Amino acid sequence: MKNILGILLLFFSAFMLTNCEKENLDMIEIEEEEITVDTTIISNNLIFRSNPGTQSGGLELDCITILYPFDLLKSDGTTISINNDDDFLSLIDSTATGSDIIDFVYPLDVLDDEGEQETIDDAEELAEMFAECVPDGGWTTDEFPAYLVSFDNSCYTLQYPLTLETLDGTELTANDEEDFIELMTEEIVFFVFPFNVIHEDGNTETVNDVDELFSLLISCNGFYIDSTDWEWETGFEYIGCYMIGFPLDVVVSDGSVVTVNNHMELCDLMLVGELVDYAYPLILTDEDGNTVIANNEDELYELLEDCDDFISGSGDAFLLFLGTQPVDSLGTTGCYTINYPITVTGETATGVMEIEIFSDQEILELSVPDASLEYPVSVTLTSDGSVVELNGIEEIFELLEDCF
């Protein structure tokens, strides 16, 4: 059985924000030196959107850590050396000094979101790196913090012009990637729905809401995840009706196994399309609080089939129906058409009921719980008109994997 779960799982949850708290510390002596100022430099707002990294060894700017020591440039051409958190907090507490700061002095040594050290040569490079940080919170059912979705971190890229919204509701237009990055560095902005993204295959898709944005971004993974509890604060803590136990080992795109310590780290991997599979055995907790173990992918799917809401519909009949739907928003036909009639059986209060179905619509309207198909069933492939006979749910999974 293959990774076809992604076709079924269209809604995704979000996460709780974490907050950093700044401490007020005593002023200390700050070393200054003078350099020539480029009068075209505009004050870099990213300096004051940074937080001391406590144990990180640097200043945290979203997913970037600016390593100590570094220098800051003042408007009069002098520089201030920042060697640790105390230096930076003292600078922030000093209104007179802080208001004169216009930029970092480059080059800067930083850690990226994967902990790799890089050298940043100018403000533009820092701004682009910051704009690409994937949010690990801050969204609601209708708002999502903007970030630079591109082929560097996704299988999609943003289509311009693009409308963004500030915290006070002001709408701003980014005409190209350069505009987008500039707006990102000035203040916190959110995507305005709908907007378009371009897939790496060249197709354009419209994103109408937060659910669709999650779905598109996560579709870039080699493996897909679901949360059947659709309340936002439970995001990525569930696979189907089972709670995930953290820390969790997963396989990423380069084939290595990495450990994720919480659902926010799992979110980061999912939103940049890095997750390929879980590293088994996978330890889960069911709805009754019992521990269950999936030793491989097939066992995971068997467990998921026990969830009341594993799929929206009635068992394998609905699964069969999925292949009749367009692959993406630009499509007009599905992978195949079902050759009706088909028959399903299910338990009712009066015993086993056998129902004959004559259309896709009747599958959607099917209300018999735990209904199952009577095999074999056949479908006609849209691509070449050939008829394929299916003799069980595993063959449906295999066909859907080939289709999508």
Q: What is the pLDDT of residue 206?
A: 93
Contact 334, 323 (CB under 8 A): yes
pLDDT band at 387 (very low <50, low <70, confident <90, very high): very high
**Is the CB of residue 287 less than 8 Å from the CB of residue 294?**
no
Q: Is 50 exceeded by the pLDDT of residue 312?
A: no
Residues 345 and 358: their CA atoms lie apart, in Å, by 15
Question: What pLDDT was estimated at residue 95?
Answer: 53
Residue bearing the bigger pLDDT, 99 or 399:
399
Cα 269 to its chain centre, rounded Å, is 7
Say how far apart CA 17 and CA 15 lie, in whole Å: 6
Kindly indicate the confidence band of residue 125, based on its pLDDT and cuts at 50, 70 and 90.
very high
The mean per-residue pLDDT over the stretch 29-45 comes to 46
What is the rounded distance in angstroms from the CA atom of residue 305 to the CA atom of residue 240? Answer: 9
What six digits make up the tokens of 367? 């209300």
Q: What is the structure's pLDDT at 275?
A: 80
Nearest Cα to 270, choosing from 250, 293, 296, 244? 250
Q: What is the pLDDT of residue 164?
A: 96
How open is the CA angle 214-218-223, to the nearest 5 degrees?
Answer: 150
Task: Kindly report the pTM of this predicted structure.
Answer: 0.58
E strand segments, 245-381: 248-252, 257-260, 275-278, 282-285, 291-294, 336-338, 342-348, 351-357, 372-373, 377-381
Q: Say which residue, 5 or 357, is predicted with more confidence.
A: 357
Whether the CB-CB separation of 98 and 92 falls below 8 Å is answered with yes
Contact 218, 271 (CB under 8 A): yes
- Compute the distance between CA of residue 7 and CA of residue 219 in angstroms, rounded to an integer: 9
Residue 331 has pLDDT above 80, yes or no: no
Instruction: Quote the strand ranges of 83-233, DSSP E.
Output: 101-104, 108-111, 117-120, 156-158, 162-166, 171-174, 189-191, 195-199, 204-207
If 0-12 CB within 10 Å is exposed, 13-18 middle and 19+ buried, where does residue 95 land?
exposed
Q: Is residue 351 predicted with pLDDT exceeding 60?
A: yes
Say which residue, 194 or 17, is predicted with more confidence.
194
Query: pLDDT > 70: what percent of the chain?
Result: 74
At residue 228 the predicted structure's pLDDT band, cuts being 50, 70 and 90, is: very low
| Chain segment 137-188, per-residue pLDDT in tens | 666 767 889 999 999 888 899 999 999 999 889 999 999 999 999 999 888 8
Contact 369, 346 (CB under 8 A): yes
Contact 27, 90 (CB under 8 A): yes
Instruction: Report which of residues 173 and 49 the model is more confident about.
Output: 173
Other C-beta atoms lying within 10 Å of the C-beta of residue 169: 7
Question: Do 223 and 3 touch, CB atoms closer than 8 A?
Answer: yes
- Residue 125 CA to residue 131 CA, distance in Å, equals 10
Q: Map tokens 């009069």 to a residue.
A: 76
Residue type at position 8: L
Judged against a pLDDT cut of 60, whether residue 363 lies above it is answered with yes
Mean pLDDT for the chain? 77
| Position 124, amino acid | E
pLDDT at 367: 62
Q: How high is the pLDDT of residue 109?
A: 94
Binned at pLDDT 50, 70 and 90, residue 315 comes out as low
